[in-house]
Structure 1
Amino acid sequence: MLRRRFMTASAATTVSLALGIDETPDRGRLSMADIDRVRSRVARLDGHFFSVGGGPLLDVTVRYIGRLQEALSGCTYGERVEGALRSAVSGLYATAGWAAHDSGDLPRSAQLHAASLQSALLARDGAATARAWSNLALQARAEGRHREAVQITQAALGTRRTRQDPRISALLHARLAIGQARISDPAGAARSLLAAETAYDRAGDEPGPAWLGFLSPAELSGLAALAHQAMGRDDRAATATAQALSLLPDPMRRQRALYGVQLAELHLAQGHREEAATALSVIDTSSLDSRRITDRLAALHRTLAA
């Protein structure tokens, strides 16, 4: 346990130093050049999450939020800079919320996602607001409040920014399908999965928000698998999960481990123990720091060993 804490602390320190968080000014006048540096650091934090999970990132992200709040209090800036800075804070709260979720701390995750929404509203940033609502819907789903999760997602889909951004729309429709499946609305889930595919196809090659860098055909397949699983279609869920794994780019190590665990769970649910063992054998957790994933992985090993 002590060694684990030391390793996590070392990783957090390394990430903090690499991002140059302490270099963020807390006095003087801020310009859009400063905002560009902040955005770059936020994007790199998100990249670390996709690669290694949330373990070492929670403290780093919360510390950076504090640094940016000091800048908001101690610096001077124009209206445009203020909005951009508050949007960045909203994004950091969202990342911190995911890191807390990955670490198994749902109460703290809920607090951070609520703070993300507050900052997004202060920034008047439609994309950040949609992201925060989406994360709060996921929070509700994680806590078993499935009907509330559906209602939150539907509200987010009704916003103008969501209608204008096909990538955000695709993500929300895919997550809505999972919620609908869990409240026994298979027809609604099917419509939402189709809407997610249609929206994603409409996005084309235009760049989307940096925080949506994880959204890809692989992710949509993985989310569709969760919807099929919730509807009791474990065979279709396993096929979709295998497709997600085949499409994932190499840097997405966290997602690869997550979907590897998901595939093993689905095989086991169908009584396919050998296939489950094979799926487990190729999961690489050597650089992963996600209690959410490692706990599920340990449960699978215990079941197979029983």
Structure 2
Amino acid sequence: MARPVTNAAFEGLLLAAGYANSHAAFSRQLNHTGRKEGAWRYDAASVYWWLRGRRPGEHVQAAMAETLARKLGRSVAITELGFGSGDSIGMCVYPVTVDGAIDTAEQIWTLAKHLNQQAGGTFDSGKALEAALGWRYDLPDKTASRNGRQQVTSTDVQSLYALADHFTDLDRRHGSGSPHTRAVMADFLVRQVAPMLHGTYTDAVGRDLMLAAATLSGQLAFMSYDAGEHAMAQHHVTLGLRLAKAAGDRLYGAHLLANLATQAVFLGHGREAARLVEAAIDGAGRAPAAVLARLQATAATAYGQSGERRACQLALTRADRALDRTGTDPGPRWVGYFSPAHLAGAALRCLGDLHLYSQALRHAPDALNLAGENTRTRALHTALIATTHARAGETDAACNWASKLGRHGVGIQSARVQQRVRELANTLGSQQASPGVNETLHALAAIPAALQGEPGHVR
């Protein structure tokens, strides 16, 4: 017995367009409309399930609307199709199955591809903690193999890692970039990676593919976070966590969870961030020294923000000891970015949050001893040093460091850097009676505009 139709709006459009009894004809026209997206193979069975509640990706809905518009002789809005908004797919929800993760990936990446301005929505700390629990305690996936539309090989997967490295380098040098930059990356994920996830591959290739997809999704998450698109960043990193779980790579999953904790710290959710990074450390187990150093540094920033002085200082000590062992225990290639300068920056941040300004500023020289490609981090640390001096009442030193921000911020597009500049200006604003502060505030006011770069320009 056929299931009852649950999408009356879509059924009505099919009826009006003459497809009520010709679902196969509609699917053929849909495949033709969507040919620019790849080789679609939707059929009458696909239409059956769409009528009964299954929700296609936004790019498929756009092609549906275009197909129906040609027959009806009028424009058809996606909202008329009856599939609901993008929020209805529960993008922040940690997918239970690998198939669910693959479907969610296509939907999230499609949504990101079509965003031409900052995404709405806010960071959901409750959903973040749920994702952490799912990643840490759900049973491992038995297999990552799949039979689908195209054959995927190990060589195909390696090309994805090369692309991830490219976007990572651009991000570190220039910041998150314009919305167009992220849309370009999302478009690649929709056109190339999503069909690969739906393809045919062995368990070994499948797990490597899941990790590559997690790496790309994690990079897009970090870029979205740096751009201030916090809901979208959380969607991407939650998906990345699930794909890392499917890949069986607990270390990269812990890294992504620590990124989520870093985002929570930035937004002021210190206690939730501490729980997230504690889950990451627990899930990482006997991790390489470099991974442990990075995780403990993140824990220190979370504890510092939440006022847990003893836990903060203990985490800093553990991070420092782990970093000393990285020469013999370097860990995965993706953690190679984490250096003594990054740990110094974390110490500067968390000790400053605890009002231990003298201790914090001892780390200032090391915080700037960065490799040349870490342009954004240098700007972030410079602003943090200036702000710490200002909070310590050392106005002249704060103004001196503030003067260096214009030079370090050239060519960077980063909402986080802009936020650090605003924090510095607000801190100095209460000390305007001091000579030189007004001049510094005037210079700082011009920095955020300079950080924006040229609209729409991909750096």
TM-score (normalizing by structure 2)? 0.57
How far residue 293 of structure 1 moved from its aligned partner, in angstroms, is: 0.6
Greater RCO (Cα-Cα under 8 Å, separation 6 or more): 1
Alignment-mate amino acid for residue 323 of structure 2 = Y
- Point out the more displaced range, 139-148 or 95-104: 139-148
How far residue 285 of structure 1 moved from its aligned partner, in angstroms, is: 1.8
**Is it true that 1:118 corresponds to 2:242 in the alignment?**
yes
Matches within 5 A, 1:66-105: 66=190, 67-73=192-198, 75-105=199-229
Pick one of 363, 372, 385 that aligns with 1:240: 363
**Is it true that 1:48 corresponds to 2:48 in the alignment?**
no
How far residue 103 of structure 1 moved from its aligned partner, in angstroms, is: 1.0
**Is it true that 1:229 corresponds to 2:357 in the alignment?**
no
Q: Distance in 2 between matches of 1:167 and 1:145?
A: 25
Q: Distance in 1 between matches of 2:222 and 2:337?
A: 13
Pick one of 256, 259, 262 that aligns with 1:138: 262
Pick one of 290, 296, 308 that aligns with 1:185: 308
Contact 1:267 1:273 in 2 (8 A): yes
Rg (Cα) greater in structure: 2
How far residue 231 of structure 1 moved from its aligned partner, in angstroms, is: 1.2
Distance 1:207-1:243 versus aligned 2 partners, 3 A rule: closer
How far residue 191 of structure 1 moved from its aligned partner, in angstroms, is: 1.3
Contact 1:175 1:223 in 2 (8 A): yes
Matches within 5 A, 1:206-285: 207-245=330-368, 247-283=369-405, 284-285=408-409
Q: Identity rate of aligned residues, in percent? A: 25
Q: Distance in 1 between matches of 2:285 and 2:411?
A: 35
Alignment-mate amino acid for residue 163 of structure 1 = R
Distance 1:139-1:285 versus aligned 2 partners, 3 A rule: closer
Deviation per residue, 1:137-170 (Å, 9 max, x gap): 22332332222211221121112x4422221111
Runs (4 or more) in structure 1 with deviation over 4 Å come to none
Which residue matches 1:169? 292
- Point out the more displaced range, 218-227 or 184-193: 184-193
Q: Secondary structure at the match of 1:203?
A: coil
Q: Distance in 2 between matches of 1:118 and 1:275?
A: 46
Contact 1:46 1:211 in 2 (8 A): no
Alignment-mate amino acid for residue 186 of structure 2 = V
Alignment-mate amino acid for residue 421 of structure 2 = L
Q: Distance in 2 between matches of 1:122 and 1:204?
A: 30
- Point out the more displaced range, 27-36 or 38-47: 27-36
How far residue 215 of structure 1 moved from its aligned partner, in angstroms, is: 0.2
Contact 1:43 1:210 in 2 (8 A): no
**Is it true that 1:149 corresponds to 2:265 in the alignment?**
no
RMSD value over aligned CA atoms? 2.2
Which residue matches 1:62? 186
Q: Distance in 1 between matches of 2:169 and 2:149?
A: 29
Deviation per residue, 1:67-100 (Å, 9 max, x gap): 2112212x32221111111111111221111111
Q: Secondary structure at the match of 1:158?
A: helix
Deviation per residue, 1:158-197 (Å, 9 max, x gap): 12x4422221111111111122222332121111111111
Q: Distance in 2 between matches of 1:82 and 1:45?
A: 23
- Between structures 1 and 2, the one with greater helix share: 1
How far residue 298 of structure 1 moved from its aligned partner, in angstroms, is: 5.0
Alignment-mate amino acid for residue 200 of structure 1 = L
Q: Distance in 2 between matches of 1:121 and 1:107?
A: 21
Q: Distance in 2 between matches of 1:112 and 1:49?
A: 16
- Point out the more displaced range, 60-69 or 42-51: 60-69
How far residue 28 of structure 1 moved from its aligned partner, in angstroms, is: 4.1
Alignment-mate amino acid for residue 108 of structure 1 = M
Deviation per residue, 1:232-260 (Å, 9 max, x gap): 11222223133211x11122111111101
How far residue 288 of structure 1 moved from its aligned partner, in angstroms, is: 0.7
Q: Distance in 2 between matches of 1:184 and 1:252?
A: 29
Contact 2:290 2:330 in 1 (8 A): no
Which runs of 5 or more residues in structure 1 are unaligned?
1-8, 10-25
Q: Distance in 2 between matches of 1:224 and 1:95?
A: 24
Distance 1:253-1:227 versus aligned 2 partners, 3 A rule: same
Pick one of 118, 135, 158 that aligns with 1:36: 158
Equivalenced residue count is 279
Q: Distance in 2 between matches of 1:196 and 1:104?
A: 28
Q: Distance in 1 between matches of 2:335 and 2:285?
A: 13
Contact 2:261 2:302 in 1 (8 A): no
Q: Distance in 2 between matches of 1:287 and 1:210?
A: 27
Which residue matches 1:17? none
